[in-house]
Amino acid sequence: MSDLGHVLVLAGGLSYEREVSLRSGRRVGEVLRGAGVSVETRDTDASLVPWILSERPSAVFVTLHGGAGEDGAIRSVLDLLSVPYVGAGSDACRIAFDKPTAKTVVRSVGVRTPESVTLPKETFHDLGASAVLARIVERLGLPLFVKPSRGGSALGASIVRTAEDLPSAMVGCFAYGDTALIECYIEGVEVAVSVVDLGEGPVALPPVEIVPDDGVYDYAARYTAGRTEFFAPARLSAETAAACAEMAVTAHTALGLRDISRTDLIVGADGLPHFLEVNVAPGMTETSLLPMAAEAAGEDLGSLCRVLLEQAAMRG
């Protein structure tokens, strides 16, 4: 057995991504046990804090997606309990989880990201939806990509190719959040670049190319086996792959992230990558991108997770 001691994997939560989180938690628990680590997996309910105070795990691996899992809230509680955890601190999570804020931060260090408009639901209604949406199309052009400013798994996200489709896209977006991020949609190759820091600074794993069967990488395409084809490493030129890796590491660093992250990019027809968003608690399911990237890099997922937990434990 590992000398790490007893560790906790947090999975579940109450976000729209609960089921994905439970799958991530199961996978992380399995690979850690395979790496000789003693693991307890728990949900975020009223029994969590008393259990932590009683059992005092050596470190926590957070596999909560969306909501409290990535907005820094649960990590703030872990900080209060003086329990170390894998991943970014609560302050960095709050910045990274809000997509418009993250775009502003990475743009300030020279990272290319699509032009966009952020629109709260109240503004959308109070100023007259049709007038506001007409100005958005006039300013940004078409096609557009609409998504909630917070959250993940493509919930509430959609491509808009005609002005007539924009109102329904906004309604769908507002079903999952109170603020919409409307971006210029860039046709190209979808790529995810995971970044890990195993003690010698952040390093990009091989980029993973995403090819959904119907052209849209939505919730079903992400979590239904066979709905999406993945290439790890991505079918990119060496120059473009290096640019993607550099962009992911730059975003990770600029946002003050730690240990692990995943940056989602789109590579345009000109071969240039564009930053879309960053994930502080990347999915770890059987169809998730970080495990694919780790395998492409020749890394054992269980060993990688164990090292991350060991580093976290040392911070405690």
**Beta-bridge partners for 231:** 209
Q: Is 279 a known active-site residue? A: yes
Q: Is 295 annotated as a binding residue?
A: no
Q: Is 283 a known active-site residue? A: yes
Whose structure tokens read 């029994």?
47
Q: Is 277 a known active-site residue? A: yes
Q: Which residues contact 242 (CB under 8 A, 6 or more apart)?
A: none
Q: Is 214 a known active-site residue? A: no
**Beta-bridge partners for 85:** 60
Cβ burial 153-176 (10 Å sphere, 16+ → b, else e): bbbbbbbbeeeebbeebbebbbeb
Q: Is 295 a known active-site residue? A: no
CA 2, distance to chain mean position in Å, is 29
Q: Is 79 annotated as a binding residue?
A: no
The answer to whether the beta carbons of residues 273 and 161 sit under 8 Å apart is no
Q: Is 264 a known active-site residue? A: yes
**Exactly one of 264, 288, 306, 310 is catalytic; which is it?**
264
CA–CA separation, 67 vs 78, rounded Å?
16
**Exactly one of 21, 58, 116, 153 is catalytic; which is it?**
153
Q: Is 153 a known active-site residue? A: yes
CA–CA separation, 207 vs 297, rounded Å?
10
CA–CA separation, 116 vs 205, rounded Å?
28
**Beta-bridge partners for 180:** 119, 148
Number of neighbours of residue 61 by Cβ within 10 angstroms = 30
CA–CA separation, 130 vs 308, rounded Å?
49
Q: Is 112 a known active-site residue? A: no
**Exactly one of 156, 218, 223, 259 is catalytic; which is it?**
223
Q: Is 264 annotated as a binding residue?
A: yes
Which helix (H) or strand (E) is 41 found in, with range?
strand 38-42
What is the dihedral angle through the alpha carbons of 28, 33, 35, 36, rounded to the nearest 10 degrees?
A: 150
**Exactly one of 262, 288, 302, 306 is catalytic; which is it?**
262
**Exactly one of 15, 149, 279, 288 is catalytic; which is it?**
279
**Exactly one of 12, 15, 17, 194 is catalytic; which is it?**
17
Residue positions in the annotated binding site?
A: 264, 277, 279
Binding site for Mg(2+), by residue number, is: 264, 277, 279
Report, as residue numbers or ranges, the catalytic residues: 17, 153, 223, 262, 264, 277, 279, 283
